[in-house]
Amino acid sequence: MRFLTWLLVLWAWAPASHADTPLHSLWELHGKHNTVFLLGSIHVLRPGDYPLSPAVMRAYSGSQSLLMEINLDTLDVAQLQAEMMAGAMLPEGGSLPEVLGPKRYSRAQILAREVGVDLAVFDRFAPWFAAEAISQLQLQQLGFAPTSGVEMYFLERARSDGKRIAGLETVHDQIALFEGLSMDAQAEYLLSSLEQAHELPKQVDDMVHAWQRGDTVWFDDQLKSELGRDPVLYQSLLAGRNRKWIPKIEALLNGDKNTLVIVGTAHLVGRNSVIELLKKDGIGAIQR
């Protein structure tokens, strides 16, 4: 749950919000002739979490294009499923019990049963996929769905409004992040996810509320206590990707059209976040 939750929300550092100053998960970058809006996203939401704040809707209305982590408008679902399954399956003869080892697998079985999952269903799959699938199931049971996420919401509006849609990376790039993790790292990730499964309902509820009020301190604290414990995951899934995105985001400031950039919230928080890297390049971001 831990890692998927952070993939679903990833944010960035900004001054702490004050009780008398309503803020949102939205930042502005100003070029000579345009404005680039950075919106921290929660990739899955509940229908009841709408409507979004007026500030966020104004940012969308004032933008001529939409830039997301991946271009969902050109996504080939069949190709995505095929690539996902190819990366999720263990090599011929491999199994989840073998990868985890007797002690970890036995522990994982017990924890999975506690959340109503038979771990044996995933015996032919890599640990990262088992962790993601179990997390997705829990989130669906809590009423969260990708179709209600921030990206899908604005994708549908952008299609209807005829706005340009683009992506910072590809689905292949995202799947490769998991495949690049060692089996031992994946095993530990699966086990730690299952150990925190019972905390997920409260954690995601708190997360949505913090996101709605632009509480960057809450996200920064959570990020430090979770992903911050694993420098390999942090570099691979957050910091490394942030550095790759910076030139593309900065290039937008040389244009004359406004753009709404939507990325997972954790990409905008803490050390080596998009916000911090922009600041190092002399580009200030104002939280709205």
Residue with the larger pLDDT of the pair 177 and 261 = 261
- Name residue 100's amino acid: L
In angstroms, the Cα distances linking 286 to 13, 35, 106, 143, 173 are: 11, 11, 49, 33, 29
Contacting residues for 19 by C-beta, under 8 A, at least 6 apart: none
Question: Hey, what are 245's tokens?
Answer: 């995105």
Q: How many domains does the chain have?
A: 1
Q: Are 223 and 264 a contacting pair, CB within 8 Å?
A: no
DSSP 17: P
Residue with the larger pLDDT of the pair 152 and 77 = 152
94: three-class secondary structure by DSSP: coil
Paired with 30 in beta bridges are: 35
Which burial class, exposed, middle or buried, applies to 92 when counting CB atoms under 10 A from its CB (0-12, 13-18, 19+)? exposed
The angle, 0 to 180 degrees and rounded to 10, between the axes of the packed helices 200-212 and 2-9 is: 20
Task: Give tens-digit pLDDT for 213-264.
Answer: 888 888 888 877 766 567 777 777 888 999 999 999 999 999 999 999 999 9
Structural domain that includes position 189? 2-287
- Which strands form 35-41's sheet, in the order they lie side by side? 164-167, 65-68, 259-264, 35-41, 26-30, 286-287
Paired with 286 in beta bridges are: 28
Task: Tell me the pTM.
Answer: 0.87
Length of the chain: 288
Buried b (16+ CB within 10 A) or exposed e, 235-253: ebbbbebbeebeeebbebb
Task: Give tens-digit pLDDT for 11-61.
Answer: 322 333 333 347 899 999 999 999 999 999 988 899 999 999 999 999 999
Task: Give tens-digit pLDDT for 56-89.
Answer: 999 999 999 999 999 999 888 888 888 888 889 9
